[in-house]
Amino acid sequence: MATQTIAETAQKLVNPEALRYAAKQSERCLVIPVRLRRAIKKYLKEQEEPYMKSKVLRLSQSFNQIKDVNLQLASTTAKKIVEDPLKSLEQSKRWKITSSYGDIGLMYRDDETIAYVASRMPAVYSACYRVLKEVRRRLPGFSPSKVLDFGAGTGSAFWALQEVWPKSLEKVNLIEPSQSMQRAGRSLVQGLKNLPLIHSYDSIQALSKSIGKSDRGHDLVIASYVLGEIPSIKDRITIVRQLWDLTSDLLVLVEPGTPHGSNIIAQMRSHILWMEERKYRKASRKNNEVCKDLITQKSGAFVVAPCPHDGICPLVKSGKYCHFVQRLERTSSQRAYKRSKGDPLRGFEDEKFSYVVFRRGPRPREPWPLEGVEFETLKEQHAKRNPEDLEIDYEDWMKLQQADDTLHEVADAADDLETGDTSCEVVNAVSYDSDAVETDGDDDDSDNDYERREERASADLGGGWGRIVFMPVRRGRQVTMNVCRSTKKDASEGSYDRIVVTKSKNPTLHHQAKRSIWGDLWPF
């Protein structure tokens, strides 16, 4: 009876519509919101700064210098710090730092800030939006009201928060040591309506002094594109521990999709999971068996995304690094100030990013989506067809052909992310306009319908949903995918496997695989 119930539940999950909405996590080509494009354009116009292209170039060179310094740092103590940072009294003292991260990272003055708004802010926004949108898909009932944005910069993550949860945000605390960045952030949001209550601070210490213990808990804490600017792994872990203490639910970390950025995310992931596991073991030893259920509910941590498990990252020893790509339509300021090497600047760019989302508490135990489900082969499906089903009206057939052609065009565009073939997407500079006029009215009904559809077909947080890493390869009637997946029901261990889905053996999953792209979920 139990087996039959599991099979019936799974069968409902794997119908084509549910698979499409539950597994689809990626955004193919993101268009920056008109409100943000207008704000950037207005801000740059007010600055009236000459030599903008050279300033953008200098900012890019500064980022490269920071990357070089970080790569030259000694890493002999990294493993010891991540695994057991409180091993001795001497080591524990270093967590009590009083300096803000800006003292050891890149300090943004006015020139760097203006160049950042013109060239980098849209791309950082797109990565943050992609991550937060995925959080909303995985947690449809989650609506943060109090948020902390660490390393807020000019407000890229804040703008993404406003787009993803526009109705639930009530209070946002921003931490940014650069006064120039703070001024730019305030200027960009000037004139916007229905903003939450915003407070800015120079450091975590300044935030802690101004709020009481009862106000320390934030529904969501995000740190985007900031940990990589901190050369010391000791200070990175210090800050992440402090941020984890300031969240009552979710912690989101986002870094550039480089080997260095991915390594930072992997280190922080290992440390948070190790730390919470250590706390749970100590609490279990101190309490009797009666209190174990209560301990389990209040302690622990698990990864919401992108990892489908909480074990050691299987990519660490594979020679690859975990990252994802978000394509975005370039704004007018990016097209005006970014340099190109002789060729016309493309109308889009691909922002690579690495990230991790933690949630407090134990990972939910859910039945795996395909558990107990038997799929028909293509031969079996053909055997069940009736002669009447093969008859089709000519007009209906033409409509189906047109719909299929459209799907193939979208799939081909997704392939460009991996292959780099952009010949079909060169944008005419005259007809392309990312600063189009925005309509005054918002289609609330369509937004509500979309949210209800997402909630109805959301993927659960159990170990049954793998993550597609890198672009699937389609050859004829088979699709090859690299998938990070859980190997245990409790999601305590994972593996990185190559999966081949063929149309002859499983036409249902093959149909889904053809339309899946890098970053999507895959059911097991």
CATH number of the CATH domain containing 142: 3.40.50.150
Q: Is 383 part of a structural domain of the chain? A: yes
User: In terms of domains, do 348 and 467 share one?
Assistant: no
CB–CB of 311/492 below 8 Å? yes
Distance CA(107)–CA(117), nearest Å, equals 15
Are residues 306 and 418 both part of a single domain?
no
> Which of 173-187, 265-279, 431-445, 446-460 is the least confident region?
431-445
Residues forming a β-bridge with 499: 481
Report whether 262 contacts 255 (CB < 8 A): yes
Residue with tokens 């990175």: 236
Q: What is the pLDDT of residue 62?
A: 60
- Give the burial class of 392: count Cβ atoms within 10 A of its Cβ; 0-12 exposed, 13-18 middle, 19 or more buried: exposed
Range of the domain at 518: 378-425+432-522
| Pairwise pLDDT comparison (370 vs 156), residue with the higher score | 156
On whether both 233 and 284 belong to a single domain, the answer is yes
**What is the distance between the alpha carbons of residues 244 and 239, in angstroms, rounded to a whole number?**
9
Give the three-state DSSP class for 519.
coil
What are the CA-CA distances from residue 382 to residues 379, 404, 411, 477 (Å)?
5, 20, 26, 16
Per the structure, how many domains does the chain have? 2
Mean pLDDT is lowest, of 171-175, 438-442, 448-452, for 438-442
Q: Is 115 inside any structural domain?
A: yes
> What φ, ψ does residue 481 adopt, rounded to 5°?
-130, 145
Residues 47 and 167 placed together within one structural domain of the fold: yes
Whether 395 and 449 share a structural domain: yes
pLDDT at site 379: 66
In a domain, 17, yes or no: no
Same domain as 334, residue 420 = no
The residue ranking higher by pLDDT, 211 or 52, is 211
Give just the sign of the alpha carbon dihedral 45, 46, 52, 55: negative
Confirm whether 14 is domain-assigned: no
Q: How confident is the model at residue 427 (pLDDT cuts 50, 70, 90)?
A: very low
H helices of 140-291, where? 156-164, 179-189, 204-210, 233-245, 259-286
Question: Of 155-159, 344-348, 384-388, where does the model show the most confidence?
Answer: 155-159
pLDDT above 90 for 224: yes
CA 507 to chain centre: 30
- Domain annotation covers residue 322: yes
Asked if 418 and 471 count as a contact pair (C-beta separation under 8 A), the reply is yes
Summarize the confidence of residues 383-398 as an average pLDDT.
61
Pairing of strands 348-360, 301-305: antiparallel
The b/e string for 60-87 (b: 16+ C-beta within 10 A; e otherwise) is: eeebeebbeebeeeeeeeeeebbeebee
Q: What is the pLDDT of residue 214?
A: 75
> Is the model's pLDDT at 213 over the cut of 80?
no
325, 234 contact by CB (below 8 A): no
> Phi and psi (nearest 5°) for 276?
-70, -35
- H or E stretch including 5? helix 2-13
| pLDDT at residue 11, rounded to an integer | 47
Residue 445 has pLDDT above 80, yes or no: no
Looking at per-residue pLDDT, the higher value among 101 and 357 belongs to 357
Q: How is residue 492 written in tokens?
A: 């305590």
**For residues 144-168, average pLDDT:** 94
Q: Please determine, for residue 8, whether its predicted confidence score (pLDDT) is greater than 90.
A: no
User: Based on the domain organization, do 399 and 356 belong to the same domain?
Assistant: no
d(CA 95, CA 93): 5
DSSP 8-state secondary structure symbol assigned to residue 429? T
CB atoms within 10 A of CB 518: 20
| 404 and 297 inside one domain | no
Percent of the chain residues past pLDDT 70, beyond the cut: 64
Can you give the pLDDT at residue 134?
Answer: 93
Q: Is the pLDDT of residue 421 over 90?
A: no
Residue 396 confidence (pLDDT): 63
Indicate if 114 and 190 belong to the same structural domain.
yes
Give yes or no for residue 452 having a pLDDT over 70: no
Whole-angstrom Cα distance, residue 490 to residue 486?
8
**Contact status, residue 456 vs residue 15, Cβ threshold 8 Å:** no
d(CA 217, CA 219): 7
Percent of the chain whose predicted confidence (pLDDT) is above 90: 36
Do 356 and 382 lie in a common domain? no
Q: For residues 114 and 64, is the Cβ–Cβ distance under 8 A?
A: no
Residue 369 in any domain: the answer is: no
Q: State the maximum Cα–Cα separation within the chain, in Å, rounded to a whole number.
A: 80
Same domain for 154 and 195, yes or no, is yes
CB 239 within 8 A of CB 271: no
Whether 89 maps to a domain, the answer reads: no
CA dihedral 66, 222, 314, 324 (to 10 degrees): -70
Output the average pLDDT for the chain. 76
Q: What is the pLDDT of residue 230?
A: 81
Query: Is the domain of 459 the same as that of 352?
Result: no
The tokens describing 518, both together, are 């890098």
Alpha-carbon span 121 to 57, nearest angstrom: 15
- Residue 22 lies inside a defined structural domain of this protein: no
- Asked if residue 391 has pLDDT above 80, the reply is no
What confidence tens digit (pLDDT) does each residue in 228-266 have? 888 778 888 999 999 999 999 999 999 999 999 999 999
pLDDT at residue 287 in the model: 60
**Per-residue CA distances from 328 to 86, 121, 267, 334 (Å):** 42, 12, 28, 11
